[in-house]
Structure 1
Amino acid sequence: MKIRATLAILLLSALASCGGNDKPAPIGAAVAPNFQDAKPVNFNSPTPARYRVHGIDAARFQTSINWSSARRNGVNFAFLKATEGGDLLDPMFQDHWRGAGQAGVARGAYHFYYFCTSPEVQAKWFIKNVPRSKGMLPPVLDMEWNPFSPTCAHRRPDASVVQDEMRRWLKIVEAHYGQRTIIYTTPRFYEENKLASFKGYEYWLRTTAKTPREAFPGQSWRFWQYSATGLIDGIKGEVDLNAFSGTPADWSAWLATRTLK
């Protein structure tokens, strides 16, 4: 039997009345997380519990999400996998996009980058499949090595090439959505491609055993993916858990400047 450990975070007193209300909280109203974890980690300080605004990311593996229930249980935001490379569309993207929007979850889309397709083709594919919706979060560029692709698994360009391709993709996508992209990455990819020198972007960092401070020394972050084994009422199976770097007030202020108008 899996161990289920409640994520201990103080409830926001101003939102206490939301718990029994079927109407979803509006976007920007931070609901404290009522999450559990199948494989909890004892992080050094600062732990995920220090942060009061949490959310998820979801893809085809999350085949059933009751978004209203997830919202009531503290899913304030969701980054949804949209595309891979130049021709793959996540089969659950459209359902997740619609459901999150209807439930008042701040939603954004991410693209998983391939090194066997030009950044221009990949950028256009993302734009083709992700609607330019009012209130959406900034687009996300997911940069990590892909060991599972039959065609791209062993293609790992030098850091200078990686950064050049990133800039080309970012330029096209940012021109379309009118927002600066968020970059998602892993410790290994970050180090091997010298992303500490890739300035001017907010980062979404994956580190499920160490804090961002330990795994990415000196790197500021906006979102922290701290678990791949989250358990949330309304979501079938396990899901990635993420924390926002600031307070509920910071979250509202960030949304005011970083969502599509």
Structure 2
Amino acid sequence: MAARTWKRRLGFAALALAALAALAGALYAYALQWRPSIEQYPLQGVDVSHHQGEIHWPSVKAAGAEFAYIKATEGADHRDTRFAENWQQSETAGLKHGAYHFYTLCRPAIDQATNFIATVPREEQALPPAVDLEFGGNCAARPSRETLIADLTSFLEMIEAHAGKPAILYVTSEFEDTYAISRGIHRTLWLRRLFLPPNYGERPWVMWQASSVRRIEGIEGPVDWNVVRP
């Protein structure tokens, strides 16, 4: 009797595990296709770098992307190897495009701005430049808040003079918790929170990075998906 009961329990456990695995698979498949409601957020788009490889931009446009933020530079001397290609081809495909810089905490702000200015064409119709502020992939340096605010202000003044328009701050919640950037520098906020609207920052976000795993035609592998607040 005990052996029969034990076998029955094992059977129930196996069924439960199989159901959980199937549910997890279904949720993952849904996440790969999910994006915020087009009715609520009509303007949606991607941000990309060389990590996405060769991109077929007409397919990205057909997948619902109206704009693209394209990585141009990182730090004081790195230039994204696919920036020029993505910049030209996204425009040809009919997407609005803007360039972004990954700001490193261990290089002088003026050198970083010089790198960005030398890489990104000055185009009146381009979207505002963006600066990526996050700890992931950054160096180990952690300057004081006063130092970072001063350096970042210098960086922004230089790239904004080049672009002819105010920049956008892409800030993760961890970076904001540490430096309170949105309180120290008043610029448009582009915030990240997967699947749920961001709930941090000193003022309402204008752009939301809603997914980092979306799969679309034209890009092999996952891509960041963003929306603009109406």
Using the size of structure 2 for normalisation, the TM-score is 0.82
Name the structure 1 match of 2:8. Answer: none
- Structure 1: how far apart are the matches of 2:132 and 2:179? 14
Determine whether 1:139 maps to 2:133.
Answer: no
Determine whether 1:183 maps to 2:132.
Answer: no
Name the structure 1 match of 2:32. Answer: 38
- Structure 1: how far apart are the matches of 2:36 and 2:114? 35
Name the structure 2 match of 1:4. Answer: 29
1:48 aligns to what SS in structure 2?
A: coil
Contact 2:72 2:99 (C-alpha < 8 Å) held by counterparts: yes
Contact 2:56 2:218 (C-alpha < 8 Å) held by counterparts: yes
Shift of 1:70: 1.1
2:116 aligns to what SS in structure 1?
A: helix
2:51 aligns to what SS in structure 1?
A: coil
Name the structure 1 match of 2:66. Answer: 76
The correspondence of residues 141-180 of structure 1 with structure 2, limited to 5 A, is 141-146=131-136, 148=137, 153-180=139-166
Determine whether 1:224 maps to 2:208.
Answer: yes
1:183 aligns to what SS in structure 2?
A: strand
What's the C-alpha RMSD, in Å, of the aligned pairs? Answer: 1.9
Aligned residues: 203
Contact 2:123 2:163 (C-alpha < 8 Å) held by counterparts: no
Shift of 1:64: 2.3
- Structure 1: how far apart are the matches of 2:107 and 2:182? 25
Shift of 1:92: 1.2
- Structure 1 runs of 4+ aligned residues shifted over 6 Å read none
2:52 aligns to what SS in structure 1?
A: coil
Name the structure 2 match of 1:125. Answer: 115
- Distance change in 2, residues 1:199/1:169 (3 Å): closer
Contact 1:145 1:156 (C-alpha < 8 Å) held by counterparts: no
1:225 aligns to what SS in structure 2?
A: strand
The correspondence of residues 71-110 of structure 1 with structure 2, limited to 5 A, is 71-110=61-100
- Structure 2: how far apart are the matches of 1:105 and 1:52? 14
Tell which structure's C-alpha radius of gyration is larger.
2
- Structure 1: how far apart are the matches of 2:134 and 2:194? 15
Which has the larger helix fraction? 2
Using the size of structure 1 for normalisation, the TM-score is 0.73
Query: Which 5+ residue runs of structure 2 have no aligned equivalent?
Result: 1-24
Query: Which 5+ residue runs of structure 1 have no aligned equivalent?
Result: 6-36, 41-46, 247-261
Contact 1:203 1:220 (C-alpha < 8 Å) held by counterparts: yes
Determine whether 1:236 maps to 2:220.
Answer: yes
